[in-house]
Amino acid sequence: MRLSRYFMPILKENPKEAEIVSHRLMLRAGMVRQQSQGIYSWLPLGKKVLDKVNAIIREEQNRAGAVELLMPTLQSAELWQESGRYEAYGKEMLRIKDRQERPMLYGPTNEEMVTDIFRSYVKSYKNLPLNLYHIQLKFRDEIRPRFGTMRSREFLMKDAYSFDMTREDAIHSYNKMFVAYLRTFARLGMRAIPMRADTGPIGGNHSHEFIILAETGESEVFSHKAFTDFDIPAETTDFDDVAGLQAIFDKWTSVYAATSEMHDEAAFNAIPDTDRLSARGIEVGHIFYFGTKYSEPMGAKVQGPDGKEHPVHMGSYGIGPTRLVPAIIEASHDENGIIWPESVAPFDVVVINMKPGDAACDTLSEKLYASLKNAGKDVLYDDTDDRAGTKFATADLIGVPVQIIVGPRSAAVGEVEVKDRKTGAREVMTLEAALNRAT
Ligand code: ATP
Ligand code: MG
Ligand code: MG
Ligand code: MG
């Protein structure tokens, strides 16, 4: 992508409305724009990162056996009346009437709709287990939307829903998502801690919030420090291995971790002083087993091996991609801007032509740009007439992992400078060496 033809509206000034660093950097880098309170457009640079985040989420969901579909944002109130949540949901739900005065709503979540799909088609235990997911916009009329897309009113959610014949099977489905989540957040360059969350009237211990530690996080969390040493389950993990997945779950839930709602002061104090972690965190994912809470009232039943009908056991599993993007930035930035983990960087490498119009600079830059593209890299080519200082500042701000700087003096002898965004290390080398480094 040539920067001169791209759309990346960089802000020079720090936007006053941004209270936290990720919000400030997303606005300054031209990633998002607020359209009305808590409702955002994702501009091209932001959209590229969001797509990469979604691709990783999708890969891990598929690997764990979940099946993707797409449900609409607008839902009929009828389904929610069936489950009893239409009245109960309260003011976070945006209620709409269509031209026939029929009550509709902008979905804050999809348990009812997916249960309706399930009951319409699946009649036998032989078709289970089943896990259906989508990545779709949600709307919640948050009382206090803030921190940019961290807590917005319209936001993207990956929500998966599992259906099983028995509670035991449902726990295996839960463990699949538990493992998929550990892998997903690790691939996004973050260590998320699964923390016990409230199960309400359902009871049991099968609700976990995945929390990323950050000073600006809205949740108060308490945990053992041991989590930093736990191994992330491998790509080769067998998701059909019931005992194997249970062992991973047991390991990751063997030490104390809870949000303030579930905090048990006595259990926490039993941890040795130096192993105690009391911090703030961001909820990036939430998984929940809720049994027959929706299948019972909505009549989502399958015929069991006994020939009788049984309401299915369900769970739901959410991740917030539009919250993850700022969460990644909170965890990875410096005073000059964002430092993207390679897995989600909007571009793999940026080629900075310091002096467009200079024959040597142009030739070398074009050559780099073409070769890197051919090698399958996502390349940003800064071919603008901006001052050198502006170009460097932009490259640092948008956080592309590798910068290749083409200046007139070194270009004349076929050399360029390669800068690592994370460490700041710079090295002069030949064009060939730079290509090797970046591919
Ligand atoms: P919170 O406690 O932050 O309000 P929640 O518990 O209401 O979140 P869930 O219903 O568990 O959220 O939704 C699943 C995921 O969707 C959350 O873990 C989070 O990543 C994301 N999410 C929820 N609300 C928002 C929001 N207002 N803006 C952005 N992402 C959100
Ligand atoms: Mg909420
Ligand atoms: Mg929550
Ligand atoms: Mg939650």
The tens digit of pLDDT for each residue in 162-173 reads 999 999 999 999
Look at residue 177 and tell me whether its pLDDT is greater than 90. yes
Does the beta carbon of 151 sit less than 6 angstroms from any atom of ligand 1? yes
Mean pLDDT score of the chain = 97
Look at residue 408 and tell me whether its pLDDT is greater than 80. yes
Q: Where do we find the tokens 């009549």?
A: 299
Distance 33 CA to ligand 2 centre (A): 22
With beta carbons less than 8 A apart as the criterion, state whether 54 and 136 touch: no
The ipTM value here is 0.99
Distance 200 CA to ligand 4 centre (A): 12
Does the beta carbon of 208 sit less than 6 angstroms from any atom of ligand 1? no
314 beta partners: 163, 291
Under 8 Å CB-to-CB from 264, ≥6 apart: which residues?
256, 258
Distance 236 CA to ligand 2 centre (A): 34
Does the beta carbon of 140 sit less than 6 angstroms from any atom of ligand 1? yes
pLDDT at 427: 97
Distance 108 CA to ligand 2 centre (A): 10
Class of residue 378 by CB neighbours under 10 A (exposed 0-12, middle 13-18, buried 19+): middle
Q: How many CA atoms lie within 13 A of 423 on its CB side?
A: 6
Measured from the alpha carbon of residue 142, the closest ligand is 1
Token representation of residue 421: 């965004």
Does the beta carbon of 155 sit less than 6 angstroms from any atom of ligand 1? yes
Residue nearest to atom 25 of ligand 1 (CA): 151
Does the beta carbon of 285 sit less than 6 angstroms from any atom of ligand 1? yes
Does the beta carbon of 322 sit less than 6 angstroms from any atom of ligand 1? yes
Q: Where are the alpha helices (DSSP H) in 313-381?
A: 321-331, 359-374
How far, in Å, CA of 195 to CA of 330, rounded?
20
Residue nearest to atom 12 of ligand 1 (CA): 286
DSSP 356: T
The tens digit of pLDDT for each residue in 259-303 reads 999 999 999 999 999 999 999 999 999 999 999 999 999 999 999
How far, in Å, CA of 296 to CA of 303, rounded?
14
Does the beta carbon of 317 sit less than 6 angstroms from any atom of ligand 1? no
Averaged pLDDT for residues 119-124? 98
Strands 379-382 and 349-353, sheet pairing? parallel
Residue nearest to atom 16 of ligand 1 (CA): 320
Does the beta carbon of 378 sit less than 6 angstroms from any atom of ligand 1? no
The tens digit of pLDDT for each residue in 309-346 reads 999 999 999 999 999 999 999 999 999 999 999 999 99
Look at residue 247 and tell me whether its pLDDT is greater than 90. yes
With beta carbons less than 8 A apart as the criterion, state whether 340 and 347 touch: no
Return the H-helix or E-strand segment holding 275: none
Concatenated DSSP letters for 63-117? HTT-EE----SEEEHHHHHHHTHHHHTGGGSEEEE-TT--EEEE-S--HHHHHHH
Look at residue 200 and tell me whether its pLDDT is greater than 90. no
Look at residue 36 and tell me whether its pLDDT is greater than 90. yes
For residue 142, give the ligand 1 atom closest to its CA.
Answer: 27
Of 155, 262, 283, the residue with max ligand 1 atoms within 8 A of its CB, to mutate for a pocket test, comes to 283
Measured from the alpha carbon of residue 211, the closest ligand is 1
How far, in Å, CA of 26 to CA of 147, rounded?
10
pLDDT at 205: 81
Where would I find the beta strands (DSSP E) of 146-275?
154-164, 192-196, 207-213, 219-224, 257-259
With beta carbons less than 8 A apart as the criterion, state whether 165 and 126 touch: no
Distance 230 CA to ligand 2 centre (A): 29
Look at residue 416 and tell me whether its pLDDT is greater than 90. yes
With beta carbons less than 8 A apart as the criterion, state whether 173 and 312 touch: no
What amino acid occupies position 353?
Answer: N
Does the beta carbon of 321 sit less than 6 angstroms from any atom of ligand 1? no
With beta carbons less than 8 A apart as the criterion, state whether 432 and 416 touch: no
pLDDT at 201: 77
**% of the chain beyond a pLDDT of 70:** 100
Q: What is the dihedral of CA 195, 200, 205, 207, to 10 degrees?
A: -50
pLDDT at 375: 97
The tens digit of pLDDT for each residue in 385-404 reads 999 999 999 999 999 999 99
Distance 320 CA to ligand 1 centre (A): 6
Distance 206 CA to ligand 4 centre (A): 13
Residue nearest to atom 3 of ligand 1 (CA): 283
